[in-house]
Amino acid sequence: MPVGGSVMRCAMAVSELPNSACRWWVRPPCRARRVPDPWAVWVVDTRSLTAAMRARWPNAFEVAVLSQQWQRPAIEEAKRLGVPRTRWAWVREVALLGAGRPRIVARSVMPMRSPAGAASALRRLGNRPLGDRLFTPGRSMRDPLEVAALQPDNWLTACLSRHLPEVSKARWARRAVHRLAGQPLLVTEVFLPSLLSADRQGVSCVRLR
Which residues, 6+ apart, have CB-to-CB distance to 179 below 8 Å? 140, 141, 142, 143, 185
Kindly indicate whether the domain formed by 14-200 is annotated with CATH number 3.30.70.260: no
Average pLDDT for the chain:
80
Which segment, 157-166, 174-183, 191-200, is predicted with the most confidence on average? 157-166
Domain segments of the chain as ranges: 14-200
Given a cut of 80, whether residue 13 has pLDDT beyond it is no
Stretch among 76-90, 99-113, 119-133 having the lowest mean pLDDT:
119-133
Q: pTM for the whole thing?
A: 0.81
Indicate the burial class of 191 (C-beta count within 10 angstroms; 0-12, 13-18, 19 or more).
buried
Average pLDDT rounded to a whole number, residues 81-95: 93
Residue 168 has what pLDDT?
94
Rounded to the nearest angstrom, the gap between the alpha carbon of residue 135 and the centroid of all alpha carbons in its chain is 15
Average pLDDT rounded to a whole number, residues 139-161: 88
